[in-house]
Amino acid sequence: MTSKQFTSVWLREPRKAASPGRSRDEIVSATVELLDAEGLNGLSMRKLGAKLSAGATSLYWYVANKDELLELAYDQVWAEMSVPDPDEVGWRDSAAVLAHSMRQVMLRHPWSADIVGRMPALGPHAMHVADRMRRMFKLAGFRGTEIDFAGSTLTAFVFGMTIPEIAWDTATSGDDYDPEAMRDLVRKAAARYPEMLASIDMDRYDDPRVVRELCFDFGLVSMLDGLERRLTTA
């Protein structure tokens, strides 16, 4: 009764790509542009309609609802990720490049952080990345379900590092970043934990981006080492 069937754009046949009218591609790239410019809350059917100089409700001809629009936009994000062929550069380099690429792409499309928790990535571009990742870990020497587990571990790490990073960026939204205000904030939040407070490196707030980069690399190396360990222990 209260339960809804699972639905997804990828389960429906799209409208015939007829000559007149707008194309789905047009709509999707306008959606991505709007999301990049105004964020997830900035996207509304009315605004998107206006951007395409059409009525808001015209969009419902191409798409069942707003969620489908987001699914389509989300897959565009996956399209931007680059995975070098593992057969050419080896699994570990291939994994490292993918990880950095995923992070950069998400930082360019901060709204994607809100989508990862809302809908599974089932689009063709996500599938392409998944396929490459499988080959990557197969080449590494994993077998059976562990191939998937290794892939999940890699994407988990990247998502988990990048999503909170985006939370910080959008909260401090950009251009008027004030390191001293940030230090005050942290001092206030951690006031009851003097030990923690004493050991926080306050310089990191001068330019948080460089520390984050170091942190990401530290975690990535750890994770890859950990995966490699699985191979020798088997």
Partner DNA sequence: ACCTGAACACCGTTCAAGT
Positions 26 through 65 that interact with DNA (CB under 7 A): 43-47, 49, 54-58, 60-62, 65
Instruction: Among 47, 92, 125, 204, indicate the residue that binds its own copies (CB under 8 A).
Output: 204
Instruction: Sketch the per residue contact string, 93 through 122, with its own copies: x for CB under 8 A, - otherwise.
Output: --------------------xx-xxxxxxx
Structure tokens at 148: 């998937």
CA distances from 169 to 77, 111, 131, 212 (A): 19, 12, 31, 12
Closest C-alpha to 73, from 38, 21, 117, 24: 24
Task: Say how far apart CA 89 and CA 96 lie, in whole Å.
Answer: 11
Partner interacting with residue 175 (select from its own copies, DNA, none; CB below 5-8 Å by kind): its own copies
Residue 134 lies near DNA (rule: CB under 7 A): no
CA atoms within 13 A on the CB side of 66: 14
Q: How far is the CB of 193 from its own copies (least distance, A)?
A: 4
User: Which does residue 22 bind out of DNA, its own copies, none, counting CB within 5 to 8 angstroms by kind?
Assistant: DNA
DSSP 208: H
203 in Cβ contact with 163 (< 8 Å): no
From 153, 179, 183, 208, residue interacting with its own copies (rule: CB under 8 A): 153
Q: Which long-range contacts (CB under 8 A, 24 or more apart) does 172-181 make?
A: 179/205, 179/206, 179/207
Pattern 156-195, DNA, x by CB under 7 A = ----------------------------------------
- Number of shown-chain residues binding its own copies (CB under 8 A): 80
Residues 3-62 that bind its own copies (CB under 8 A): 3-6, 8, 10-11
